[in-house]
Amino acid sequence: MTDQTVVVRDLRDAPHFFDAVADRIWRAWWEPHGFPLSHITGLLQQSLAEEAESLCLVAHVEDRFVGTASVIASDLEERPDLTPWVAAVWVDPPFRGAGIGGDIVLKAAHAALDTGAEAVHLCALPGKRAFYERLGWRLDEKDVGTDRLDVFSMRRA
């Protein structure tokens, strides 16, 4: 970790981090399923163009990428009625355990709620349950889909 200040910004305001964000999302969630990097760069570009519905946050220290989280319309095919979602939460390993992941998740959730949504949703493997519950997410469902995911929500205060 570093003593330097971590800044969290909308990726639209820091587009030079686009490639780093796409790389991390691809490696974590898409490459293991055989998708090419171009698949996720396309999706990310599309999500940035859809101003009202999608958001991608990037955390950085000066020019160094630190982490990311997104707000997207749909993240779980078993729950097509729920929207929006916080998704693709990632912090680079050297920066983990210092509160950055928690901070970026909450900033993404609050940004989603600020657009007028009554609730924002998130799905995760059960191993992350303590992390999200500690941040104030409500566990709504367990064992959803073949990955047996937890589904959480956060509501406007």
Tokens coding 22:
């796409």
Asked whether position 128 contacts ligand COA by CB under 6 A, the answer is yes
Candidate residues 124, 137, 151, 152; the one interacting with ligand COA per rule CB under 6 A: 124
Q: Do the strands 7-10 and 64-72 form a parallel or antiparallel pair, or are they unpaired?
A: unpaired
Contacts of 45 (CB under 8 A, 6+ apart): none
CB 105, min distance to ligand COA, A: 7
Query: Among 25, 91, 113, 154, which residue sits at the site for ligand COA (rule: CB under 6 A)?
Result: 91
Within 10 A of 123 (CB to CB), how many other CB atoms are there?
23
Could you tell me which stretch among 33-41, 112-120, 126-134, 140-148 binds ligand COA (CB under 6 A)? 126-134
Kindly give, in sequence order, each residue whose CB lies less than 8 Å from that of residue 112, ignoring residues fewer than 6 positions away: 55, 71, 84, 86, 120
Residue 36, interface with ligand COA (CB under 6 A)?
no
Nearer to ligand COA, 47 or 67 (CB): 67
